[in-house]
Amino acid sequence: MPRVRTIFLSDIHLGTRACQVERLLSFLRAYDAEYVYLLGDIIDFWSLRRGIYWPAQHNTFVQKMLKRARHDVKVVLVPGNHDEALREYAGSDFGDIRVVKEAVHAAADGRRYLLMHGDEFDQVTRHHRWVALLGDMAYSVLVRLNGLLSWIRRKLHVSGYWSLAGYAKRSIKGALQFIYGFEESVAHHARQRGLDGVVCGHIHSAAIKSINGITYINCGDWVDSCTAVVEHADGRMELVHWRESEAPGEDLWQEAAAMEPAQLARAAPLQRY
Ligand SMILES: [Mn+2]
């Protein structure tokens, strides 16, 4: 098992059907660490409020985290907007898991990273009302543009799902602006705090990049991209795309593309990030 110094996870969305918990458990079987940071939207209380969905593997994840925390792994939870109820418990512990509103992580190379979920830097509700209409399952399709976009367009066009394709075409610029806007404001905030970088989540768009000298790191999610960030023993940060186990429901967006808008709205598991 590769031992890394730190594992950063965000946007797991336990309690939703979209959560790819099998893959996540497979990732955790492969990585051991001294520190585990859970950076928000770990449990999706928004979804649970609409109806309880909690299969055994979702418990397994929680139990594994508690077990690691008990066995000298420093496990820290920074709540996000979908588990904002936990923000009330900032400063307390669940088992041996510490809950904090935000944290600063000193990497092995001495660089200091701000750890947060990031929803406070989300401008999307103000500028992208269509997101609420489509639900974020569709939105995650639209924002995950890396190489997928042309494929999506082609597929959607062929399938004749004109409304989603139309939304995609009209909204690409907005989605990109949203991502860049989010990344830049988060990086700017880290700079103002006098830190070297930031590790966050929320927008389900994994990244490690330099923005005006600040290292911007986003863990991505376990709904669609199945990504995590690990810190190696020397402080080097790596984005891990976990593709090892083929879980069902891999191509969520394909399912989404095949749905009628009303069906999509009902199925949308996350209601935005
Ligand atoms: Mn979020």
pLDDT the model gives residue 115: 98
pLDDT the model gives residue 136: 54
Task: State in Å: Cα 160 to ligand 1 middle.
Answer: 31
Give the integer Cα–Cα distance in Å for 268 and 256: 8
Task: State in Å: Cα 48 to ligand 1 middle.
Answer: 15
- Give the CB-side neighbour count of residue 191, counting CA atoms within 13 A: 13
pLDDT the model gives residue 245: 46
Task: State in Å: Cα 76 to ligand 1 middle.
Answer: 17
| Chain centroid offset of residue 237 CA | 17
Which sequence spans correspond to the domains of the chain? 3-267
Series of mean pLDDT values for 10-residue runs along the chain (273 residues): 92 94 96 97 91 95 97 96 93 95 98 95 58 54 54 59 48 72 95 98 94 97 94 98 60 52 47 56
pLDDT the model gives residue 179: 82
pLDDT the model gives residue 120: 87
pLDDT the model gives residue 49: 86
218: phi then psi, degrees, rounded to nearest 5: -125, 130
Question: What superfamily does domain 3-267 belong to in CATH?
Answer: Metallo-dependent phosphatases (3.60.21.10)
pLDDT the model gives residue 242: 93
pLDDT the model gives residue 267: 45
Question: Which residues are near ligand 1, the ion (C-beta closer than 5 Å)?
Answer: 41, 80-81, 119, 202, 273
- DSSP-derived 3-state class of residue 6: strand
112: phi then psi, degrees, rounded to nearest 5: -110, 130
Task: State in Å: Cα 15 to ligand 1 middle.
Answer: 14
DSSP codes joined into one string, 169-212:
HHHHHHHHHHHHHHHHHHHHHHHHTT-SEEEE-SSS--EEEEET
The pTM of the full predicted model, rounded to 2 decimals, is: 0.77
Q: Which two tokens stand for residue 164?
A: 């989603």
Task: State in Å: Cα 273 to ligand 1 middle.
Answer: 4
Task: State in Å: Cα 158 to ligand 1 middle.
Answer: 32
Task: State in Å: Cα 256 to ligand 1 middle.
Answer: 20
Q: Which two tokens stand for residue 179?
A: 């991502």
248: phi then psi, degrees, rounded to nearest 5: -65, 160
Burial of 124 (0-12, 13-18, 19+ CB in 10 A): buried
* Per-residue pLDDT tens digits for 127-148: 454 555 455 555 556 555 544 6
Give the integer Cα–Cα distance in Å for 107 and 113: 8
pLDDT the model gives residue 163: 42
Q: Which two tokens stand for residue 41?
A: 């939207």
Helices (H), 97-246: 124-127, 129-134, 136-143, 149-159, 162-192
